[in-house]
Amino acid sequence: MGTAVAASPKGAAPRAGAVLRMAGLVRYRFFLYAGLLPYLLGAAWAFGMEGTFRPGVFWAGFFGIFLSVVGVEAFNEYFDSRMGTDRVFNPEDEDPIPDWVLWLGLAAFAGALAVGVALARGGGWPILLYAGLGGLAAAFYVGPPIRWVYRGLGETMIALSYGPWMTLGSLHLQTGRFSWGALAASLVPGLLIAALAVVNEIPDYHQDRLVGKRNLVVRFGRANGVRLYLCLASAGLAVAILGALAGVFPKAALLTLAAAPLLWTSGREAARTFETPRLFVPAVRAVVLCYAVGTLVFTAALASPGVFR
């Protein structure tokens, strides 16, 4: 009898921990491939809008970006573990992230730097500029000594890295030029992924507040965080639509509206679950899909400008 009573809370705790670990794994796996989408966007602009595509350079850059995103996630996992962010309420639930994760991150960043230097030798110093800006944002997002996210600048760094810097860097690899139109296009993934960063902070509100993260949700509260991420994502989709109507983007970019129902679904779920982390997962998942669908459709539109005339 006593064993049965004691087993119930012990069984519940591992199940809760498993749910939280699974949510974290989904989030990080998403960033691993989502970080590559703005790179594809820059190449799509070069191909569809400027008629240039260099396959060898594209794949070399793709590998460098992949290494960079691996480094970002390794650093985030390691330093979040060392700060106790993910175990602030139940420190015994998970073992600390091992040191090899830090070394993995360092090796990935070193590899990305090597790729960047090699590409800059043939493509010019702006490639190193874009790579350097992205590297500073990535390595010090949660890593010392800067820790952007603890200074209230995490969302800005994510938006810039996964928006203008990655998109324009990808374009420069192909064309060797800057483009104002591509800068406008880069706002689509930049704003959408900023929304995703904010929505991911909502279920972590209490942990982040206790460990000193000064992100936007901690500063303004969860209810305002819901309003903010919906505004950011709506702005990202609006850039694609307004740009298409103004002739900056192809008319096919209007199809980016296909992601709007996913954002509406997320907002509906968030309005009733933002105070309950486990119930908030569908709202996060819908924003993930909104980002992926919106960015991919927009990228396809840029790569095929002749679809609609």
Domain residues of the chain, as ranges?
13-303
Q: Is the pLDDT of residue 138 over 80?
A: no
Please compute the mean of the pLDDT values over residues 134-155 and round it to a whole number: 82
Specify the CATH number for 13-303; select among 1.10.730, 1.10.600, 3.40.50, 1.10.1060: 1.10.600
Q: Is the pLDDT of residue 25 over 80?
A: no
Position 29 scores a pLDDT of 54
Position 308 scores a pLDDT of 60
User: What is the rounded distance in angstroms from the CA atom of residue 239 to the CA atom of residue 137?
Assistant: 24
Position 173 scores a pLDDT of 93
HSE-up of residue 153 (Cα within 13 Å, Cβ side): 13
| Confidence band of 95 (pLDDT split at 50, 70, 90) | low
Please compute the mean of the pLDDT values over residues 232-243 and round it to a whole number: 98
Q: Is the pLDDT of residue 132 over 50?
A: yes
Start-to-end CA distance of the chain, whole Å, equals: 75
User: What is the rounded distance in angstroms from the CA atom of residue 282 to the CA atom of residue 280?
Assistant: 6
What is the average pLDDT score of the chain? 84
CA-nearest of 50, 45, 24, 76 to 189 is 45
| Confidence band of 33 (pLDDT split at 50, 70, 90) | low
Please compute the mean of the pLDDT values over residues 142-171 and round it to a whole number: 88
What's the residue count for the chain? 309
Q: In the chain, pLDDT over 90 holds for what percent of residues?
A: 56
Position 146 scores a pLDDT of 85
Contact 28, 284 (CB under 8 A): no
Is the entire prediction scored with pTM above 0.85?
Answer: no
Q: Is the pLDDT of residue 24 over 80?
A: no
Higher pLDDT, 90 or 272: 272
Position 3 scores a pLDDT of 38
Position 154 scores a pLDDT of 87
Position 73 scores a pLDDT of 80
CA-nearest of 212, 247, 216, 209 to 232 is 216
Higher pLDDT, 263 or 145: 263
Q: Which of 59-73, 181-195, 236-250 has the lowest mean pLDDT?
A: 59-73
Q: Which of 14-28, 186-200, 226-240, 249-263 has the lowest mean pLDDT?
A: 14-28
Q: Which of 22-31, 33-42, 47-56, 190-199 has the lowest mean pLDDT?
A: 22-31
| Confidence band of 69 (pLDDT split at 50, 70, 90) | confident
User: What is the rounded distance in angstroms from the CA atom of residue 105 to the CA atom of residue 292?
Assistant: 25
Q: What are the contacts of 261-270 at 24+ separation with CB within 8 A?
A: 262/286, 262/287, 262/289, 262/290, 262/293, 263/230, 263/233, 263/234, 263/237, 263/287, 263/290, 266/199, 266/230, 266/233, 266/290, 267/226, 267/230, 270/199, 270/202, 270/226, 270/229, 270/230
Token couple for 4: 């049965």
Cα-trace Rg, the chain:
20
Please state, as a whole number, how many other Cβ atoms lie within 10 Å of the Cβ of residue 70. Answer: 19
Position 195 scores a pLDDT of 96
Position 160 scores a pLDDT of 93
User: What is the rounded distance in angstroms from the CA atom of residue 32 to the CA atom of residue 87?
Assistant: 23
Say which amino acid occupies 219: R
Please compute the mean of the pLDDT values over residues 197-224 and round it to a whole number: 91
> Which of left, alpha, beta for 308 (phi over 0: left; psi -120 to 50: alpha)?
beta
